[in-house]
Chains A and B, each alone.
Chain A
């Protein structure tokens, strides 16, 4: 098991290096002038010269790359033009807001999604099953941003029950977290339902019933434990949905997180911040991959004993 984790850690490290490399070359060889990208529109030729020297842009590409990697290792990803601070700090300051919203949405989605998915599989054709499947279909067919806008229209503008912007009281969390959770709920419900249905048809579930094991244990211990293996994979889609969702929801509800930050930075050409955002999210993804690999080894003894 420790060897397994170590191997995964090494792969994670390599992946980050690969991603950093790709991002470096994407930004710099993308056919755009690397200096122009990093300068605010009102830059003077003098600014251009200073920046060129500072980033060593007149040096060969390989030297630039080395410089970039060296800086990355120390957490230096350039300076934000808008805030005149290190880009990473600007991002990190706003990360807690996004994290709170994201976690709230995630746990809500997990709770609702698993309950509905499992119940759906255990009692096919029941009211919960039909309603759950309908809801899942809706969650995947109705775009999050539209739900957000409609909710604002209904609860914010027409009824005036809930605040439509900013972050402050618990009420401020309600609509954004709810919106953010919709697509993840649909994903989790769908997958947990089908995974449970498969598990419930298996021979070992029949065997447990033959032994006289109470139905609750059959469902939770036998079926669910096996179903959780495919369900764990859904976390990646959920994470992706939360990232896109955060950008959308934070924009619509003016939530002060990194989603709104990156959009604003993009349209004000504050590209260092955009770059940091991309790298940070990728880092989170790599960590997520690692975590899932470890969780798999924990659940499934067959992997552990390899």
Chain B
């Protein structure tokens, strides 16, 4: 590559690096996360639910009273922190994916109806979506948790009900532009029913956007579910949900710092992985920034 000089400033011009932007850190975090999800049973050194009462609140292995067998220490019931962290990744993933499938379905359906039907239905659904989006999920959680009792399922229900507007909006946008395309018009001329057009013609074309949106959102969902569990409104003991681990460990903060530090780090690693990779994917596959 020949170097060029800026005629005004006289300085050399650096061309932008090609291939720059592959999110190595993000991919590494994701790899670690999925590795623990898949192989939790194999790589966790101890049972995450069984505590050795002779070894409660042991510090991490590198500290003075640490034990090599409990690498990151133990909690107040003698359970190995590392094993609990590893199994906790499964819970995070399960809950988040559950939420996304739930509100994703609602969002896609409403978005298709909205975009395809147009007119008053469209306006109504979009207005509803606008308002719905401005409601904080937590207030719905309070009601549902009061009625159903706090649990991981309640979280999935709550976020499932609240999270559809973003999806609906984007699916609707895609629908609107696809509606004008020739293959849709041809299908209409051929006499396909609206339902059939929506499902067989439009849906396959928007799967791309649906997946990208999921990767962008999943990070935020993990943080939100961890927060809800931390407050006690979500996963209940003896679950090894990371937010719950932090809530339990909080009381011992003055002398067992590892109980609050490592679960938090786990959350950060997982979420960073999804956010960095999601951002990169979006840059790559959606240069027009339709999904912002």
Contact = CB atoms under 8 A, between A and B. Distances in A.
B268 interface: yes
Interface of B is mostly: helix
B139 A149 contact: no
Contact of A274 (B135, B146, B148, B260): B146
How many chain B residues sit at the interface, stated as a range, is: 35 or more
Interface string B123-136: 00000001101111
Interface in B249-269: 250, 253-254, 257, 260-261, 264, 267-268
B206 interface: no
A288 B134 contact: yes
A180 B59 CA distance: 30
B143 interface: yes
B27 interface: no
A251 B226 contact: no
A137 B230 CA distance: 22
B246 A149 contact: yes
B142 A278 contact: yes
Given A146-B264, A277-B142, A141 B271 contact: yes
B147 A30 contact: yes
Which of A240, A248, A267 is most buried by chain B, counting CB atoms within 10 A of its CB? A240
Contacts of A240: 134-137
A120 interface: no
Contacts of A31: 147-148
A281 B136 contact: yes
A144 interface: yes
Interface string A244-280: 1001100110000000001100110001001101100
B233 A149 contact: no
Contacts of B231: 247-248, 251, 263
A27 B139 contact: no
Interface in B104-158: 130-131, 133-139, 142-148
A194 B292 contact: yes
A23 B224 CA distance: 23
A8 to B, nearest CB: 12
Contact of B275 (A140, A236, A263, A278): A140
Interface in A126-155: 137, 140-146, 149-150, 152-153
Contacts of A37: 146-147
B142 A141 contact: no
Contacts of A146: 246, 260, 264, 267-268
Contact of B136 (A243, A252, A274, A289): A243
A285 interface: yes
B143 A141 contact: no
B142 A143 contact: no
A285 B143 CA distance: 17
A68 interface: no
B71 interface: no
Given A30-B147, A150-B264, A157-B254, A145 B135 contact: no
A239 interface: yes
B227 interface: yes
B168 interface: no
B142 A266 contact: yes
A131 to B, nearest CB: 16
Interface string B270-292: 01100110000000000001001
B51 interface: no
B260 A289 contact: no
Contacts of B133: 236
Nearest to A23: B143
A248 B136 CA distance: 14
Nearest to A142: B268
Interface in A143-181: 143-146, 149-150, 152-153, 157
A274 B147 CA distance: 12
B135 A282 contact: yes
B147 A26 contact: yes
A278 B224 CA distance: 18
Given A30-B148, A145-B246, A247 B138 contact: yes
Nearest to A183: B223
Given A145-B230, A146-B246, A152-B253, A281 B139 contact: yes
A248 B227 contact: yes
Interface in A91-142: 137, 140-142
A244 B253 contact: no
Contacts of A271: 146
The winner among A30, A146, A252, A266 for most chain B CB atoms within 10 A is A146
Interface string A208-251: 00000000000000000000000000001001100110011001
Interface of A: 15, 23, 26-27, 30-32, 37, 137, 140-146, 149-150, 152-153, 157, 194, 236, 239-240, 243-244, 247-248, 251-252, 262-263, 266-267, 271, 274-275, 277-278, 281-282, 285, 288-289
| Top-10 shortest CB links A-B | A30-B147, A146-B264, A240-B136, A236-B134, A141-B271, A243-B136, A278-B139, A141-B272, A143-B223, A244-B138
9 contacts: A26-B143, A27-B147, A140-B223, A141-B271, A142-B264, A143-B230, A143-B264, A146-B267, A239-B136
Given A143-B268, A236-B134, 15 more contacts: A26-B143, A140-B219, A141-B268, A143-B230, A145-B246, A146-B267, A150-B260, A153-B257, A157-B253, A240-B135, A243-B136, A248-B231, A278-B142, A282-B139, A285-B135
